[in-house]
Amino acid sequence: MTIKEIQDSIVEDFSMFDDWMDRYAMLIEMGKECPIIDDQYRDEKHLINGCQSRVWLHAELKDGKVYFTADSDAVITKGIIYLLIKVFSGQTPNDILSADLSFLDEIGLKEHLSPTRSNGLVSMVKQMMLYAEAFKSIS
């Protein structure tokens, strides 16, 4: 699936719930499916600096596509990073770099996009883009 198609399906999943509680519950559930980062990468180098919860992110390039793994000590944050992984994993660096992220607004995570928000969503996206940028230059 393309990035756009995956985003549309996530938006559709979230639109089933009107209540924010259910949305958060779904986000938490989704976090459990997150491809967990290998222990060897769970270090300072792979830590994304969000203020309150810790997020580790790793990426690999296989056959021209980027594959992410991650983990977080907070379940909501883990849900959020998994959403991003769902969208970006298995895509080419170019597709990742040109992706539109407005789906995050549509599923009600807009508030998390503020740069001052302490969960570091912006930092997560930025780190994924940096990986894509780095892989683009070697692929």
Catalytic positions: 51
Q: Measure the CA–CA gap between 117 and 88, rounded to whole angstroms.
A: 22
Q: Does 119 bind another protein (CB under 8 A)?
A: yes
Q: Measure the CA–CA gap between 46 and 58, rounded to whole angstroms.
A: 6
Q: Does 76 bind another protein (CB under 8 A)?
A: yes
Q: Measure the CA–CA gap between 55 and 73, rounded to whole angstroms.
A: 7
Binding mask 10-49 for another protein (x = CB under 8 A): ----------xx--xx--x---------------------
Binding mask 48-67 for another protein (x = CB under 8 A): ---xxxx-------------
Rounded least distance, CB 38 to another protein, Å: 22
Q: Does 114 bind another protein (CB under 8 A)?
A: no
Q: Does 123 bind another protein (CB under 8 A)?
A: no
Query: Tokens for 30?
Result: 């989704």
Task: Identify which of residues 11 and 75 has a Cβ nearer to another protein in the complex.
Answer: 75
Sorted by sequence, the CB contacts under 8 Å of residue 34 that are 6+ apart come out as: 70, 71, 78, 79, 81, 82, 85
Confirm if 33 and 82 have CB atoms less than 8 A apart: yes
Ramachandran angles phi, psi of 72, nearest 5°: -145, 155
Query: Tokens for 132?
Result: 């894509």
Task: Identify which of residues 58 and 78 has a Cβ nearer to another protein in the complex.
Answer: 78
Q: Which chain residues interact with another protein by CB under 8 A?
A: 20-21, 24-25, 28, 51-54, 73-77, 118-119
